[in-house]
Amino acid sequence: MMASSSLPSFPCLSYFKMPIAALTNSPRTTIPYNLKKGQTRLLHKLPSGLKMEVIEQRKSKSERENPPLVFVHGSYHAAWCWAENWLPFFSSSGFDSYAVSLLGQGESDEPLGTVAGTLQTHASDIADFIESNLGSSPPVLVGHSFGGLIVQYYLANIVNKRSLGTENAFPELSGAVMVCSVPPSGNSGLVLRYLFSKPVAAFKVTLSLAAKGFQKSIPLCRETFFSQAMDDQLVKRYQDLMSESSRIPLFDLRKLNASLPVPKPMENSTKVLVLGAKDDFIVDDEGLKETGRFYEVEPVCIKGVAHDMMLDCSWEKGAKVLLSWLCDLSKPGSLSA
């Protein structure tokens, strides 16, 4: 597993003092994702000089002002995983939607080193995009799997900065959503529970993710990320995209787990939704409940979908639950101050 050794008490303080990163000569994705109608690919320049891919899809006409949505992927994915279904769905529902590819993933630049970054650097990159492009419109930040852990870190930084009484390095959010997210303590607990209660499943998860077995086996790829009803051809399409998406790992998982849990938010002013999937092969029910307890919200577990909720053959189920929550959030007086 992968991240920085130990997080300082107020990691956001170093946000504007990050060293300039260097770009390797590694090629970007060799199978670029073909954008859908209405989508645009941007390359956002970060303070480091590196460029981060962003796929945007602006809303159709809407009578009310909705917060923009910013989507963050997990391991072996990139912005395309949101562009496939959820960006068209939410833009047509009245929300400007943006999906980022973290460094070293998708069409984003690759930093020097063996991993793409840490919780701090990934969250800082997202914060820079939000501050530079969304201005006075606090977005809802949506993270999937390890992207959900990055969202949790982002939330902790907002609170820490606010509690210091100084200007936020991480811009405010209208809401935060964790989708099949790694819990605040990391995935060590998930692994241990699998080892003791589901040793066969533990072996498969290790083979699929750590050994990248999902790249070579359609049945294993389906079992890891999707519902059993998923068509072979569609699994193969996503298998190819995932195989090409991640040129270097998102984190050093050993260092990441040593730095966890993420800091506990000092305040609960940001509305949080915790979404899980009943058929999730990676994040178990206890992992989902842990995230809910951490944010003092009741998690919503959706039946008939697997870990890749936004790509699964029943992707509409999760999208509709999130849309309902967003509509409540957008009612006058509902958005956090």
Indicate the CATH number of 39-187+248-330 among 2.60.120.10, 3.40.50.1820, 3.40.50.1440, 1.10.10.10: 3.40.50.1820
Residues 102 and 125 sit within 8 Å (Cβ to Cβ): yes
pLDDT in tens, 34-61: 999 999 999 999 999 999 999 999 997 7
Coil, helix or strand for 272?
A: strand
**Exposed/middle/buried for residue 178 (C-beta within 10 Å: 0-12, 13-18, 19+):** buried
Residues 85 and 41 sit within 8 Å (Cβ to Cβ): no
pTM of the model: 0.87
| Helix, strand, coil percentages, rounded to 5, for the chain | 40, 15, 45
Least confident segment among 52-56, 98-102, 133-137, 180-184: 133-137
284 Rama class: left (phi>0) / alpha (psi -120 to 50) / beta: beta
Helix (H) / strand (E) element for 159: namely helix 146-163
Q: What would you report as the CA-atom Rg of the chain, rounded to the nearest whole angstrom? A: 18
Sketch the domain layout of the chain as residue ranges. 39-187+248-330
Structure confidence at residue 265 (pLDDT): 77
Least confident segment among 125-134, 257-266, 288-297, 321-330: 257-266
- Which residue has better confidence, 313 or 24? 313
Proportion of the chain above pLDDT 90, given as a percent: 69
